Structure 1
Amino acid sequence: MNTDLETIENYVNGQLNADERARFEAALRTDPALADALTFYMLSKHVAREEAHAVRKAELDVLRRQTVPAPPFWSAPMRWVAAASLVLLLGLGWYFFQSANGPANSELAVAQLTDAYVAQHFTNLSTDMDGGSSGSKALDSLKQGINLYNKGMLVEADVVFQDVLKRQPDLESALTYAGITSLRRGNYDQAITLFHRLSQRTDLVSNPGTFYEALALLKRGQPADKGQAERLLKKVVEKRLDGKKEATTLIETLK
């Protein structure tokens, strides 16, 4: 999809209409270059905010340190006016400093990055999977669940994946697909539990469980979730787990 910077900016700022937003998010799922462009845009905005933060803080520090002695001919009322003006200026500077760098902007950026990842990677499940030693019955059930999921029948797919987990609680594919289905359905508590169980598998060559658990925590958004998600994302980066690139971007945006 040939999408310019203005379209990406309008998407981030919520200025696309419903049809335009749907087309943009559909393109995100199939166009890695567009997803990278959105990620770069969000990270660039974060860096710009940090630089503006530093500049404003330096300017305010200089202003606070300035002491201008009142000329002898200044009357008491004039000194009060000058003092009030300085207080007002400092107050306005602090207000704009907070507005440009407040937590709401960071949280919005994180939410948009998380939604973009989910839209790109979790809209469809791949039918090319490693069944391992799961057995033909479990493999057939997983394929059935995937087909249901890809048709948008998330409730039915969830039933199939959960049934597989009852028989094989530690099956990697079932934990992954059931967790993703729970995440898409907004059942974040269950998604977090399933992804955590997946992350405990130490015998896997590739394991996205820790990164997916962090995504589910960010989506749930309870008071302690942001801190826990950040700790998991740092673990992903430090141990070079699946999702390292995306985790790095999210950590920068969480600051």
Structure 2
Amino acid sequence: MDDYYEKIADYLDGEMSEEEKVRFIEALASDKELALAFKVYRTIEEEMPLLEKSKVQNEALKSTLQSLNKQYFELETPQPAKVIPLYAGKVFKILATIAASIALVLITYFGFFQPKNNIQVLANSYFKENLQHLNQTKSDPADTLQFGIAGKIKKRNTAQDSLQLGISAYNNQDYNKALKFFQKIYKNHPELSEAEKYSGFIFLATKEYDKALQAFENLANIKNTPNNPGLFLQALTYMQRNQVSDKQKAKQLLEQVVNNQAEGYKEAEQWLKKF
């Protein structure tokens, strides 16, 4: 059996000479065991990469398993034939290999991809629907120069203008330009916490998760901010990154959000049901 798979691998990898290829193809036509082993090898080779795509769905898995079942387990009614114990033993090994392959598909899907998809899909969908495009406030032309009390001139709020320019760049996915606006604003006007929050959004969009976590931690540490979204956004970042221990960190943060009734607590309540 091992010799079969070595030959199959050599054939598929193009490591056979032309003469060896001809002999192998002839053997496939005449040797039922080799032909079945070839099907098993190709099935594993072709089906497993499908599970490596982030959009694996249950129906796809079901279809894969049904396909394997049809190909290898719904065998035709056997014709009367001479019983050869050695052949039966080889068939058993082949079927055992198929069963192991199906088990590997199940373990790979349910043990790795499915849990990961659950929280990442939630986080990615939330980002796309709520954070990928920001609302803008139109500037009031009459606000350029105004006469205040005792005829004093009030200057235009340039920080707010810069914030709107940054938002415009963000919506156009010009993230480098937007980040320059937001970082400069937050440095000169730390009271404008939106600038730090929007910087975090940029890092989420560019998948720079460590920087996003730092921005949202800074946001969470700002005192006297009603319904501070910092904790919720940190949890969102952990869910999107989804490295080892990130799921537990996200869960703990979401629980804090719910307990504090902070911004995002309704989503947090729903997401916690998925953990």
Common fold, TM-score beyond 0.5?
yes
Give the total of aligned pairs: 164
Q: Note if 1:198 corresponds to 2:207.
A: no
- Distance apart, 1:95 and its partner CA: 8.6
Which of the residues 169, 179, 183 maps onto 2:204? 183
**For 1:193 and 1:170, how far apart are their aligned partners in 2?**
17
Which of 241-250 and 96-105 deviates more? Answer: 96-105
1:138 to 134, 159, 168: 159
For residue 142 of structure 1, report the CA deviation from its aligned partner.
Answer: 0.5
RMSD in angstroms over aligned alpha carbons?
3.0
Change (3 A) 1:189 1:95: closer
For the residue of structure 2 that corresponds to 1:152, the secondary structure is coil
Q: CA deviation at 1:140?
A: 1.3
**Cα distance between partner residues in 1 of 2:241 and 2:257:** 19
TM normalised by structure 1 equals: 0.56
Equivalent position of 1:208 in the other structure: 229
Residue identity over aligned pairs, in percent, reads 28
- Selected match of 1:160 from 176, 181, 192: 181
Q: Of 213, 223, 246, which aligns to 1:225?
A: 246
For residues 28-58 of structure 1, the C-alpha deviation after alignment (integer angstroms, 9 at most, x for no partner) is xxxxxxxxxxxxxxxxxxxxxxxxxxxxxxx
Structure of larger gyration radius = 2
TM alignment of 1:63-212, pairs within 5 A:
102-128=111-137, 136-212=157-233
Tell me how far apart the structure 1 counterparts of residues 109 and 205 of structure 2 sit (CA, whole Å).
32
Cα gap change, 1:164 to 1:14, in 2 (>3 Å): farther
Paired residue secondary structure (1:203)? coil
One-letter amino acid of the counterpart of residue 227, structure 1: Q
Q: Does 1:236 align with 2:257?
A: yes
What is the TM-score with the length of structure 2 in the denominator? 0.53
**Secondary structure class of the residue paired with 1:198:** helix
Select the structure with the greater relative contact order (CA < 8 A; seq sep ≥ 6): 1
| C-alpha distance 97-151 of structure 1, shift in aligned 2 (>3 A) | closer
Whole-Å separation in 1 of the counterparts to 2:113 and 2:270: 17
Determine the C-alpha separation between the residues in 2 that align with 1:196 and 1:128. Answer: 26
